[in-house]
Amino acid sequence: MYVEQNLQLGEEWWGYINTCYFVGMIFSGLIVIRFAKLLEKYNGFFIIFGLFLSSLLIQFFGTTSIPALALLLACLYGLPEQILYQAIPRPCYGKDSCKNSCRLGSSHQYYICRSVLLLGFITETYSVKTTFQFSSTLIFLAFLYATFKRNDLIGKQCDQSLSSKSSNLPR
Report the C-alpha gap between 25 and 30 in whole angstroms: 9
Report the C-alpha gap between 55 and 49 in whole angstroms: 10
Could you report the per-residue pLDDT of 127-145, keeping only the tens digit for each? 999 999 999 999 999 999 9
Bigger pLDDT: 159 vs 144: 144
Per the CB < 8 A criterion, the answer to whether 87 and 81 are in contact is no
Report the C-alpha gap between 94 and 122 in whole angstroms: 40
Report the C-alpha gap between 160 and 157 in whole angstroms: 5
Confidence of residue 95 (pLDDT cuts 50, 70, 90): low
Question: How does 124-150 read in b/e, with b if 16+ C-beta sit within 10 Å?
Answer: eeebbbebbbbbbeebbebbeebeeeb
Q: List the single range of 60-69, 112-121, 130-139, 157-166 with lowest mean pLDDT.
A: 157-166
Could you report the per-residue pLDDT of 2-26, keeping only the tens digit for each? 898 889 899 999 999 999 999 999 9
